[in-house]
Amino acid sequence: MRLVDKSDMQIGTIYCLRRCCKWYKKAFLYVPDICVLNAFILYKDSNTDKHVPKTDSGEGSGGGGVRVVDVRSDITSQPSPAMRRTIMEAVLGADPYGEDPTVNALQKRGASLLGKEAALIVPSGTMANLIAVLSHCERRGCEVILGDLSHIHLHEHTGTTQVGSVYPRTLRNQPDGTFNLKEFLEAVRSEDFHSSRTALVCIENTHSMAGGKVLPMDWMDELGAMCKKLNLPIHMDGARLLNASVALKELPSRMVRDCTSVSLCLNKGLGTPVGSLLAGPSEFIYKARSIRQMLGGEMGQPGIIAAPGLYALDHVYPRLHEDHEHIQIIARAVAGCGSPAITCDLESAHTNILMLNCNMAYLTPQQLCQRMEEVTEEEMAVMGERVVAKMSPVNLTTVRLVTHLSITPEDVKALVVKMVYVIKELGKPKST
C-alpha cells in the first residue's frame, strides 16, 4: 500500500523549510519571503482535507495517468496530510501505565461521545467485538443472540467461539439489518440446569451486509426495553455508528443509550489508518483491559493511533454526509440506466455503502468488478480519461461499493461515467 505520495512529500518539504525559517526569522527579525512562504503553507494547510490526487502518475488522468477510484471498502482511504501531521506530532507515553496523554484524551472523548463511563483503544474492530463478547460472557457455554448476517458472526472467524467458547444463537437478519423481536423473545434462554444461558445480544449499526442501513430507532428502543426487563446486556458493533448518526441526525450517545457496550472503528468512515474504541461502564472496561492484554492487544504508545482518531472526530466526522451524498449520486446513476443487468435500490442506500444487484443472466459480480478495473481504447475515446474502479463482489449476485474520505467529487463523476458506460456495454443477455 502506498503510504507517501508526491503531495505529502511536498508538504513534508514545506514543513522542514518552515522549521528552518522559524530559526531564520528569529535571527533576522523580519524576512518578507517567510511571510510569502507561510501564506503558502497556510493555504496548503487549509486545503489538506481536500484529498491527495490518486492517479498513478500524480497528474490529471486525462494526460495519460490513471484515475484509480477504490470503493472496495472505507478502509482503503488515505489519511490526509493534516491527519498524518497529527501522527507525527503526537505526544506519547507508556499506555500500559496509563501515561499516554493522547490515548487518554481519545478514550475520554470517545466515552463522552458514546455516553458511556469509559472507553478503551484497541487495534481493530474485530478485537473490540471479541473483547466485548468475552467481557460479557464470562462462563463457558454462554449464548449470544445475534443476526445471521452480522459481521461478528460471518466475518470474525467465529473468534467468540474459538477463544471464548461462546455459542452463537443466530436470528435471521431482515433486509433492514434488524431481526424479528418475537423470534428474539422466543430465542432467549434463562438459567436452566439443562441448557446454556443467553448472556448477550449483539446488534450492528450501520449494518454492513444490509448495505450500510441504519437500524430504526424505534426497533432499538423496543429491543432495549425488552432486554432491560430480561436483564440482558446489548453490545453494539458500531464500526460505522457515526455514519448512522449522521444519516439519522441523532446523537451517537442516544443511539447506544440501551446498549451496555459499543465498539466504534476509527479506520472506516473516520479514515484513520488503524484502531477502534470500545466503550461501556467502568467495570466493563476494566475487564476489557485485561482481556485486551490476553489477546495481545495492549500497545506500548498507541498515541500515534489515537492522535488521528482525535483529528478525525473533529474534522472527518462532520464531513461524513459527503460520502452519503456520493453514494446517492452513484445509486441514482445506476438506477437511471434502467438496465435489467445491474440494479440497485435507491431507498436502501442510507449511508456510505451501496449494493449493486447483478442479474446472472447477463453477468456475474466478478465479471462486473473485473470490467470496471479494465480500460479499453473505445472507452478512453468516449471518456477522455483512464478510470480504474475497484469494487468488491460480495456473493453470487451482489457487488459492494463504499465511499470514503479519499473519494473526491471528481472521482464520483468519473466513476459514474464509467459505470454507465460499462452497464450499457454489458447490459446484453449472455446468449446474444
Ligand X SMILES: Cc1ncc(COP(=O)(O)O)c(C=O)c1O
The binding site for ligand X (CB under 6 A) comprises: 124-126, 151, 204, 208, 237, 239, 265, 267, 276
Within 231-276, residue ranges assigned H as helices are 241-248, 252-255
For the bound state, the minimum distance from the C-beta of residue 16 to ligand X, rounded and expressed in Å, comes to: 33
Under a CB-based contact definition with an 8 Å cutoff, are residues 241 and 256 in contact? yes
Q: At what angle do helices 32-46 and 6-28 cross, to 10 degrees?
A: 150
For the bound state, the minimum distance from the C-beta of residue 70 to ligand X, rounded and expressed in Å, comes to: 15
Instruction: Report d(CA 129, CA 150) in Å as an integer.
Output: 11
| Residues whose CB falls within 8 Å of the CB of residue 167, separated by 6 or more in sequence, listed in order | 141, 142, 143, 144, 161, 196
For the bound state, the minimum distance from the C-beta of residue 171 to ligand X, rounded and expressed in Å, comes to: 17
For the bound state, the minimum distance from the C-beta of residue 206 to ligand X, rounded and expressed in Å, comes to: 8
For the bound state, the minimum distance from the C-beta of residue 307 to ligand X, rounded and expressed in Å, comes to: 18
Of 114 and 342, nearer to ligand X (C-beta) is: 114
For the bound state, the minimum distance from the C-beta of residue 296 to ligand X, rounded and expressed in Å, comes to: 14
Of 14 and 265, nearer to ligand X (C-beta) is: 265
DSSP type of residue 278: E
What string of DSSP letters covers 374-395? Answer: ---HHHHHHHSSEEEEE-EE-S
For the bound state, the minimum distance from the C-beta of residue 235 to ligand X, rounded and expressed in Å, comes to: 11
The residue number with the shortest CB distance to ligand X is 125
Of 84 and 400, nearer to ligand X (C-beta) is: 400
Of 278 and 368, nearer to ligand X (C-beta) is: 278
Of 151 and 326, nearer to ligand X (C-beta) is: 151
Sign of CA dihedral 252, 258, 200, 282: positive
Q: Can you read off the three cell numbers belonging to residue 113?
A: 461521545
Of 47 and 395, nearer to ligand X (C-beta) is: 395
Sign of CA dihedral 201, 204, 208, 213: positive
**220 closest CA partner among 248, 181, 246:** 181
Of 102 and 243, nearer to ligand X (C-beta) is: 243
